[in-house]
Amino acid sequence: MRNDVNDSSLDINERLAALRFAAGGKQWPGGNEINNHIHTIYSFSPYTPSMAALCAREAGLCAAGSVDHDSIAAAKEMLEACAILGIGGCVGFEVRVSFLKRPDGTAGPFAGRKINNPDSEGNVYMTVQGIPSCSITAAAEFLKPIREERLKRTKAMTLNANILLKEADIEAINFENDILAKSKFSEGGEITERHLVAAISGKIIKKYTKGRGLLEALNRKFNINVSAKLSSMLWDEKNPFYEYDLLGILKSEFLPRIFIQPDENECIPANRVTAFADSISAISAYAYLGDVAESPTGDKKAEKFEDEFVDDLFAELSRIGYKAVTYMPPRNTKEQLKKIRQLSSKWNFMEISGVDINSPRQLFNCPEVLQDEFVHLIDTTWALIAHERFASVDSAYGLLSDKNPLCTMNLSRRIETYASFGKKLDLYHPDDSAADLVQEIFKGRV
C-alpha cells in the first residue's frame, strides 16, 4: 500500500485510503522539527502530498506543510494526510513576482538587479502561507492565469530546446506527451522549468543510456563539463536518483541557453500578491536566498544576491506590504541569518522557515531549527497552523488581523500565543477543535 500512497495516477481519495492503511498501528519517532516548504507533484517533486506527509512523519517531524509553485492544488490532500498521521499541517504556494515597477509606474529601486531569483533581474520569489481552508478555492482562481502564462512560456522554451536537441541528433520533445501529460496541470498543478529539463534529461538518457557515454555526450554535444562529484553520480548506472542528478546539471548548464524571461503577465507586480494574501487572511513572505556558495540541490551556481543591499530591500518589502520573511537555516550562514533576524525585528516581519524539498536526495529533517537561535521557528509554524484553522472559523481571528481581539499584543507575543493554541489542537481532528479554541480568545481566556 505504501506505493499507492505515492502513486500520482491514483486520485486523492485513493491515496489517502492507502495512507490510512499504511499508517494503521504504526509507531512513529517523536520529535520537534518542522518543515513547511515541501513541494509536491503539483509543481515538481517526487512526492504526492500524502507521501510528503508520510515522509515527514517517518522523519520524526511534528508538523509539515506543502508549498507548490503557482499552485495550491496539494492543499486539501496535504491537510487531510497530516490529520491522518496526527501531525500539524499547513499550506501555501510559491510564486514569482515583479519588482520592476512601483504602482505609480516608476522604476523599482532593484529593477536592474538579481534579488533572490537566479534566472531574472527584478523578479522575486515569494510565498503566500497560512492559507485558511475557506480561501483555497480563491487562491486557485487567483493563480489560474499565472499558470496559463507559464504554460505558454514553457511551450516556447520547448521549441528552443528542440533546436539544440536536433543539432545534437537527439529526439525532439513532444510537449503534450513528454511534459503536459506527465504533469498535474489539468488538476490545478503547475508546469515548471524542471518539467522541461526532466524531459530533456529523458531524451538524453534514451539516446546515450546511463554512464560513461552520457557523460562524454554532455561534453561533446553540449560543452557541459561536469564536476568530479557529479560525474561519479552519473557514472553509476545503478544510481537510484540518476534522473534527478542529471536534471540538476542541465538546469544549471543547459536551461540558460533556452530560457525565456517571463513578463509581467506571469510575474505579476508584487503588491498585487501581497494585497491578495491580505484579502484571504493569508501571510505574504519574501523568500530570502542570500549569496550562494554551494547549492544543496546542485542546480544553483555560486553567485551574489541580495546581501549587499538587504537593508534597503527590507524597507522596500515593508512598503510593498509584505508581512513575513521565509528562510532556510541549512542554506545560509549564521551571520547571514543573524542579519535577517535583526531586520525582521526592525520591520515587524514574521519569520517563517522550512527546507525547500523537491528532490529525493533531500532529507525532510531540519535539525537546525532545534538550535537556540532558530527554535522560535518551531513556534512560528504552530502559530501558522492555528492561524489557518482560526481564520477559517472567522477571518477576524487570523493571526495578523487588525480585528483580532489580540491585536494589541506585539507580534512576538501574538505568535507565542497562537503557537500555544496550535499545540492544543487535536491534530487528528484539527478543524473540529479549532472552534472551541477560538471561543477562548473570544471570551478573553488568554
Does residue 279 form part of some domain?
Answer: no
pLDDT digits (tens, 9 = 90+) for 161-183: 999 999 999 999 999 999 999 99
Q: Is residue 348 part of a domain?
A: no
> Is 60 a domain residue?
no
320: in domain: no
Residue 336 has pLDDT above 60, yes or no: yes
Q: How confident is the model at residue 440 (pLDDT cuts 50, 70, 90)?
A: confident
Give the per-residue SS3 of the chain. CHHHHCCCCCCHHHHHHHHHHHHCCCCCCCCCCEEEEECCCCCCCCCCHHHHHHHHHHCCCCEEEEEEECECCCHHHHHHHHHHHCCEEEEEEEEEEECCECCCCCECCCCCCCCCCCCCCCEEEEEEECCCHHHHHHHHHHHHHHHHHHHHHHHHHHHHHHHHHHHCCCCCCCHHHHHHHHCCHHHCCCCCHHHHHHHHHHHHHHHHCCCHHHHHHHHHHHCCCCCHHHHHHHHCCCCCCHHHHHHHHHHHHCHHHHCCCCCCCCCCEHHHHHHHHHHCCCEEEEECCCCECCCCCCCCCCECCHHHHHHHHHHHHHHHCCCEEEECHHHCCHHHHHHHHHHHHHHCCEEEECCCECCCCCCCCCHHHHCCCCCHHHHHHHHHHHHHHHHHHCHHHCCCCCCCCCCCCCHHHHHHHHHHHHHHCCCCCHHHHHHHHHHHHHCCCC
- The reply to whether 50 falls in a domain is no
- Per-residue pLDDT of 250-290, as tens digits, reads 999 999 999 999 999 999 999 999 999 999 999 999 999 99
pLDDT (average), residues 7-26:
95
Q: How confident is the model at residue 296 (pLDDT cuts 50, 70, 90)?
A: very low
pLDDT score, position 204: 97
Number of domains making up the chain:
2
pLDDT at 301 over 70: no
Global pTM reads 0.95
pLDDT at 238 over 90: yes
The residue-averaged pLDDT of 352-381 equals: 93
CA distance 143 to 72: 8
**pLDDT confidence of residue 325:** 98
**Is the pLDDT confidence value at 297 over 60?**
no
The pLDDT score that the predictor gives to residue 300 is 53
Average pLDDT, the chain: 94
State percent of the chain over pLDDT 70.
Answer: 98
**C-alpha span between 313 and 110 (Å, rounded):** 8
Residue 445 has a pLDDT of 66
Boundary of a domain, candidates 197, 232, 258: 258
- Is residue 318 a contact partner of residue 350, using CB atoms and an 8 Å limit? no
Q: What is the mean pLDDT of residues 335-343?
A: 96
Q: Is the per-residue pLDDT at 120 higher than 60?
A: yes
Residue 26 lies in a domain: no
pLDDT score, position 443: 74
Inside any domain, residue 315: no
| 371, 377 Cβ separation under 8 angstroms | no
For residue range 373-397, list pLDDT tens digits in order.
999 999 999 999 999 999 999 999 9
State the residue range of the domain holding 245.
Answer: 145-258
Domain finish residue from 230, 258, 286? 258
What would the mean pLDDT of 5-13 be, rounded to a whole number? 97
Domain end among 258, 277, 307: 258
Which range, of 76-85, 176-185, 355-364, averages the lowest pLDDT? 355-364
Report the pLDDT averaged over residues 24-53.
94
Which of 1-10, 132-141, 296-305 has the lowest average pLDDT? 296-305
Residue 57 lies in a domain: no
